[in-house]
Structure 1
Amino acid sequence: MFMFGDSLFDAGNNDFLNISIDYKADFPPYGETFFNFSTGRSCDGRILPDFAATYANLPLLLPYLYPGFNNFSNGVNFASAGAGVLPQTDPETVL
């Protein structure tokens, strides 16, 4: 399983970006009801890909940028909170 998307699917990729952004969820309450620590997910527990992976008998998908993660045989999560595909989704784009 390979996931792409925005905050609804982000498993914490934004926490590992080496830039200053507003879309990080690395503080409570994010993650506290399922993981008992801040996960970088834009919710307090599991996200839709977690349920899909559990249903498919796969481990939870790690963020693509998770340190040391390089085994994509079960899939990976590329989603990033605040992601967009249209030029209008970039606040620095001048139309």
Structure 2
Amino acid sequence: MNKGEFVASVAEKAGMSKADAQRAVDAVLDTITQTLRQGDAVSLVGFGNFSIKATAERQGRNPSTGQAITIAASKKPVFTPGKTLKDAVA
């Protein structure tokens, strides 16, 4: 399912126009993004948790040359599904 199909499904289930559903979906995604950017986690009970995981600097290899390289430390968004979501797809 792509974003357009997702918006159409939300519009149908919520009984709203696609334009309103698009604004609502965009607002939810923007809110999650802004919260993670600030370093906070987002917990949606039953659905899951969005958080940031810090990765340390580490050594890697260039696969084409075999030369050792340093992979910089970074922050990555992480999603951990909740029990209700896990049970629904199992």
TM-score range relative to shorter protein: under 0.3
Greater per-residue helix proportion? 2
Q: What TM-score comes out, normalization by structure 1 length? A: 0.23
Larger Rg: 2
Point out the structure with the larger strand share: 2
